Structures are given as structure tokens and as C-alpha cells.
Structure 1
Amino acid sequence: MSKMEHHGTYTPTSGIGKWIDARMPLPRLMYDSFVAYPVPRNLNYAYTFGGILTLMLVAQILTGVVLAMHYVSSTELAFGAVESIMRDVNSGWLLRYMHANGASFFFIAVYLHIFRGMYYGSYKAPRELLWILGCIIYLLMMATGFMGYVLPWGQMSYWGAQVITGFFTAFPLVGEWIQQFLLGGYAVGEPTLNRFFSLHYLLPFMIAGVVVLHVWALHVTGQTNPTGIEVKSKTDTVAFTPYATIKDAFAMMVFFLVFAYFIFYIPNYLGHPDNYTEANPLVTPAHIVPEWYFLPFYAILRAITFNIGPIDSKLGGVLAMFGSIAVLFVMPWLDTSKVRSAVYRPWYKLFFWIFVANAILLGWLGSKPAEGVYTTLAQIGTAYYFAFFLIILPLLGLIEKPRRMPNSITEAVLEKNGAQQVAGTAAASPETRG
């Protein structure tokens, strides 16, 4: 069977439980989705980031709602309001640091989640819509993160908004209208701050709605696994609880320990020092950069320093930046290989890890001045980024010879366990020790 079909096993035991189940079977839905739901038995820790992201979203919404109670969306009062939250509100410093660092850790988890999906082929049929919904969540996260970065009304907040909204002026005819619509005027000011605050408050709830659709699509098509082989029998699966939940809980604890270290010991490490100075339209920072999670795309934007036919460099850079995100949406149709997982695709595995290293390099280049060798390296990195999707993925499916795949998930697990036992026996034998 291609889908992990299963029948609900929930049986209410109390009278109230039976009454609720007959009218609104929410407990049955929760039980069937998060207790008895069958998952592949070979899931590893790379599959725990979905749960981590859900928890991070809840934390961001809760801390954001409380912070909004004390924030003032006024250009004259916003910077002071943030400082007041830090100093005068009970545990305000903790809420602010949780929310600010939470954005960064949210993006860390989502990037690892995306890379995992790319490595194990989670975007391939029949999960194309699942992947597209994930890309929509990512887009909404980027919009939410950008607007939230403006709210403290520091120097980098102000000038980041000025530069990024200025990108839209590169589009002929409608560019200036789009910029004025976003700003609420002709420059970053009070209307801009009000709009961004409203949207920053609204978008996380939209993300939560798309997450529900994302989980729904996942439960319809079933979870992928490191082999990329579909579930074929009940022996290929285990119940979500306790097997997957214990693994998810452990990964969450490790992730949140690192998160807590940043909150309590280095809370400003991922921020920019210029943003602790109140916004001043008359003083331009020496080097304007967005938050670190936007830096790879910022490097791609600045890598286009030449005209492409009738397209000037400014428009070319903006198109390249938006294109670097749009190409993710069509990835399921660019990959022509019939093998899903990189475990059995040696050449794809090599090019994938080069892609990961290239993305990190682009992030570093995005933090550097757009001059000299930095621009050259950014152009090389941008070329490989698009070549990976538009050239390498389509060609590899035609010429790559994959490794032998097991017939089922159970066979893959037994082969792995057998190999580990053989290795353990060999290590413990007198011949290998002597």
C-alpha cells in the first residue's frame, strides 16, 4: 500500500467521553493522529524537526502576544517601549530574549527540516503538495521575520526596511506603487511601523493555519523515511506513541537546552549591535545587513552586478533573489530520478553536500561588503545554487546509477542491524584485538 492507511482504535470509556465522541470526535482525531498513527520503523533524529518547529511556533505566538500588550507602534515611542519591556515589565527581559532568539532558532530548525526533506526526497510524488505547503510556511516565516525585525525601531531596523522595500522599485511600472503601499507613504515612518506591527501579529496565526494543512497532507500521504521506500506492510511501521514521541521529546530537550544557553548567556549574539541605537534617518550605518537567516538571499541579490540584456543589474538581482526561493516550489518536478533517498544516490549525495556548504558560504558572503573577492565568490555561489536545481537535478536522474535498494523498510532495518552485529562481533573477537 502506498499510503499508511489505518483504522481508528480509539474507544471512549466514560459516559462523557462517549457523549463527546458522538458529537465532536476530537479526542478520537487526536488519538488516531498522535498515538496510534503508524510511522515507518526506521525514522532517525532528522525527522524530529517537525515537532520542534511546532513547539517553536507555539512559543513564538505566546511570547509575541504578551509582548504586544506592552509594545507601542509609534516611531517616537517604539524604541523606548522595547527598553521598558526589558527593564520594567515582570520577566520582560526573558520574554523579549525568548522571542528574539526564538526567531533565529525557528529558522535554524526550518533550514534543517528543509535540508532533510531535500536529502531524503520528501518532495517527490505523491508528496508534492506537502512540500509546497512547507515552502508557503517558509515564505510566511520570512515575511514575519522581516516585519518583526523592524519593530524595535533601531538603526538596522529602520535602514533594513528602507533598503528591502526599495527592492520593489526595480520592477517597472508597478515597483514604486508596491513600495509606497508597503510603506504607507514615500519613506519609512509611522504608517510603516503600524502596518508592519499589524502584519507581524497576524502572520503567525496564518502560519499556524498552513501548518494544520501541512500536517493533514502528511497524514494523507504518510511519512517518508531514510530509505525512501513506501510502507508495504504493518511490519514496516510502529505506533507514533511511544516510539516517535520519545525520540521527538529527546530531540526537543536537546534543542531547547541550546536555545536556553543563548537566552541566558549570549542573548544578543545573533543580533546586530547597531540595532541597540534608536533609528535615525539622518545617519546611515556603514554596512546595512538583514538578519542572518536572510543573508544567503541577500548575497544572491548583490551577486548580480551586470546587466542581462534589457534587464539591468538591480532588477536582475531582485529577480535572482525571488527566483532562488521560487525554484524550491518546483523542485519536485526538476528532480527526474525515480529513487527518492540520497542514501542510494551517490552522486546526488555529493552534489547535495556541496549545495549545503554553498548555502553556508552564501550566508557568510551576505554579511560582507559587496566588493572585491566577496562579489566574485557570491557570483560563483549563486551560479551553483541555480545550477543545482536547474541542471544537476534533471541530469542526474538520467545518468546516475543508484545503489541496490532493499525490498522493504523491514529488510533495510534487518540489514542494518545485521551489519552492526557483525561489526560488533568482529571488534570483540580476539583476532581483531590482537
Structure 2
Amino acid sequence: METSTSKSPGATPVWGILALLTVGLLISFIDRTSLSSALADKNFVAEFALTSVDRGWLNSAFFWSYGLMQLPMGWVVDRYGVKWPYAICFFLWCLATALTGMVTALAGLILMRLIVGAAEAIVIPASYRWIGNNMGENHKGLAAGILSMGGKFGPAIGAPIAAWLIVSYSWKLMFVATGLLGLMWLLPWLMLARNDLPGKTELALSKTRASSVSLGSILKSPVIWGAMINNFCYGYFTFYCMTWMPAYLVEQRGLSLGKSGLYTFFSFAGIAIVATAAGWLADRIIERGRDAVFVRKAFVIAGFIGGSTVLLGAHATTLEGALFWNVCSLTLLGLATANNLALCKLTLIPRQAIGLATGVQQLATSLAGGVSASLSGWLLHVSGSYDLPMKVIVIFLLIGATNTAILLRPKWSPKVAAA
């Protein structure tokens, strides 16, 4: 486990590449959540004759291929670097997003979502592999917070833009525009990112280092299982917000599609800002000599408990109260965001195991997305209300808080052999 400052980030190249990774993550979330706005559009639903259960399964299609490809993508970045694997996958998911606007059958929609999910599986293993190789412990919280802003501002920006494009033009143009415009990111990435595709000597060395970490040693670690539980519980809430929040605001709270996009923006902007601030604050406390694991765990537990206020929104009798707690609960979850990422993917993980460990953990994140989208659709179908899906969210958040206190301990980190 690497807890000391291994590298002091330089002003321009390190933080500049981190900024590019953040924007790449932002684009990935815009493309993965654009479907949620379409599913709140009556014309889109009518064209494909979708039920609430159908909408849940369509929302979840992305997460099944996304989860399936996590381990292979972790393996790829551990051995072949970040720059070129990321660039190739980025091109594929942007193209698939654009093609979504051209399909005419439900099967075509599902196929495009599966391609987007498989290609986007590179993002998190690659990003945390890069952070682990370039950031020390006193910068990991801030780095994770900055990166997480991409995952939160993606739906925050994407939801109102997608809603505007649908209302002003059509759902078809929305998919084409969001997919093709994202490709502009590739140019600065290819120009600025260091070419870390290894030659024969470097490839042999990376294989030797990677061989010091086995999947068995990863899966034997209680920290990994604790991290997977945390990722699932955290992801269940955030993916519910990404997939069902626009429909909830339109169908149960009576907002227009345009206004629902605006409140989705407030919710995800709030969690992004708090996540970065909490990551930075934890870094400063750690820099003053406090135990890194204890500090980050405290923030994570506070975030899970704060997110549980979503139940107050479910039971609010006024629109204003419902909107307030809808925004506040996701914002408070930001206390956990960066510190959970830093704790589970960096602080408690040996550097040579980051790619594989992150891939394993992302399986739980993907499962959370699939289960949240489909289970929430089924719960909505059987109850006729969004109250029951929100109660299930609270159960998972409280499980996450308890799990953080019990399983995430340094003595249970993955063991690696000498390379």
C-alpha cells in the first residue's frame, strides 16, 4: 500500500492531463445519460411503445456491457498504458451515441447502448491508473474530487442540453449532436497525453509488475469486497438520479421536461462542488499528520448519511420541499464521493494493483447501475409511485455507511508479490 507522496505534481503537464481526463469522464456521462432525457419524452416513448419496465431495461442495457468489460479494460491499461486504449474506446462510444439517433427499432437502441457501455468501461480503470502513477497521497483526494466532477457535471450539463435539443428539435438530433461533438476531445488528448504504449522492453517490465498481482489475491482482500459494497450503494443512488430523476420530476412532481433538466443540473452540480471541496479538505487534514484512512472514512460515512435525506423529498407534501431535498440529498452525498474513490481505489490499494482492483470494483458500480435502473422501473410499475424506489435507496446508503466503518481497514488491503 502506497501512502506517501510518490510524485509531486508539476503545474502544467500533470494537472493538465487530469483536466483532460475529467472532461473525458464528463463526455462519457453526457453520452451515457442522454437516454434518460429521451425516456422522459412522450414522443420517444410512443415511437418505441415503451412501458415503465421497458424503460428500466433499456436504461440498464448500458451497465451490463459496461460491467462485463471492466476487468478486461483494467488488464489492458495495466499492460498497455492509458493514451491509445482510451483514445480508441472514446472514438467508439461517441460514434455509437451518434448512431443511436438513427435507429428505428428497440433492438437497435439496445445494441447501441451495449456498445457505448463496453467502450466506456475504459474510463475509470485508465483514469485511476494514471492518477495512481502520478499523484501522491496529499493530492489524491483533490485529484479524485476533480475527476469526479466530470462524472457529476456530465449529467448536470447533459440533462438540460439534451432536454433543450429534444424540445427544440428532436430526440434523434440530440443523440447525433452529443455523440459527434464529443469527438473534439480527441485532438487535445492525442496532442498532450504522453505516449505510454510500451515497447518490447517496457511491455516485458509491465507484465512482470502485473504478474505480482493476481486476481485471486485481489478477491481475497476484504477491502476489495468492502469497496465493491460501497461502490454499489453509492452507485445505486447516483445512477437512479441519472436514469430516473428526469422522469420522476416530470411524472410525479409535474415539472416540464425543460425544468426537470434544470433541477437535475442543480443536483449534480451540487454533488460535484461538494465532492471536490471534501476531497481537498481531507487532503489538507491528512497533510497535517492525521491518518489518511480514518479521515477519508469519516467523510464517506457522513456522505452516505447525508444522502439518506432523499427520503424527506419522497415524503414532502409541497413541490418546493420535494425539489429542495432532491437537490440537497445528492449534494450531501458529495462528502463521500472523492474520499470514497481515493480510499477504495488509491489509498488502500498497492500501486501495481490499481488497474485490476479498479476493474473489479467497477463491476459492482456497473451492477448498481443495472439493478438501480431496472429495479426502480419494476418498483415504480408495481407501486405506481416513486416513493418505494426512494426508500430502497436509503436502505443501500445506510448499508454503505456501516460497511465503510467495518471492512475498509489497511490490514485487509490486497497483498502483492515482489515483482
Query: TM-score range, shorter-chain basis?
Result: 0.3 to 0.5
Between Structure 1 and Structure 2, whose CA radius of gyration is higher? 1
Structure with the larger helix share: 2
Scaled by the length of structure 1, the TM-score of the pair is 0.37
Scaled by the length of structure 2, the TM-score of the pair is 0.37
Higher relative contact order structure (alpha carbons within 8 Å, sequence separation ≥ 6): 2
